[in-house]
Structure 1
């Protein structure tokens, strides 16, 4: 049986498929890896922000005085965001029904924490990092017990 000429005509292109695969693979892999890094950074920041708001609301609801409550909430927020190297850009504490005392029996404490998450691997060059961060916020509400001492 005679051999087909179809395979012998392309002898000059031997090995080009591996170069094409490597080139296309790199062009697709680099953005995919960056997307995974960015999404992991954003997910971690979302979890840290939500945890900071929840812990701050719990600390306020269980504190003995209003001043101690706010100090404990600030400490809880700093600890919750410190693992990712984030700082809260804004913290809003609202207390119902008495806005001046978050530890009033039967009230509700609402905490909103906002952070700005920088995208990974983006160096701050010439102050061009203005649009290279993602703002996130999380809120939590916690009732204050009627039976507290």
Structure 2
């Protein structure tokens, strides 16, 4: 006949504890890894959004007839490019530079125009309750350069 196990025998019996330890350790390691992948995907999306916005803004700027039309087209191009990646234009900052200075002088033949777009990408899964809106954002910047055509007829 079998004798009943004592309390010390039950404590020493480790059958089934390996699977429990594996599941616990797996979850402890898996959760941060999944968050890291999600965060890196969000940052990559923000980087692609900034790059596309800068490229399109530079292209539409150099093809405009005048400076007012160029500024409106740049705003629209940046808004569309960022909206494709789920980012708002409120988090973006656009800077347009050229060798001739600013304004109408940028739209001269053979002028080189540089457009820089800075976007603040929010980290995923950060609740609004913590009031970490500015701390839970990563700035991403992209620059694009275009030359105004030497056949440009705007002047």
TM-score (norm 1): 0.87
Distance of 2:103 and 2:17 partners within structure 1: 74
| Unmatched runs of 5 consecutive residues or more in structure 2 | 1-11
Instruction: Show the counterpart of 2:48.
Output: 47
Deviation at 1:98, TM superposition (A): 4.8
Tell whether the 8 Å contact from 2:61 to 2:70 is kept in structure 1 after alignment. Answer: yes
> C-alpha deviations, 1:19-44, integer Å up to 9, x for none?
00000000011000000000000001
Residues paired across the two proteins, number: 140
> C-alpha deviations, 1:23-82, integer Å up to 9, x for none?
000001100000000000000100110110010000001111111111111100000001
| Unmatched runs of 5 consecutive residues or more in structure 1 | 1-10
Instruction: Show the counterpart of 2:103.
Output: 100
Instruction: Show the counterpart of 2:78.
Output: 77
Instruction: Show the counterpart of 2:138.
Output: 134
* Root mean square deviation, CA, Å: 1.7
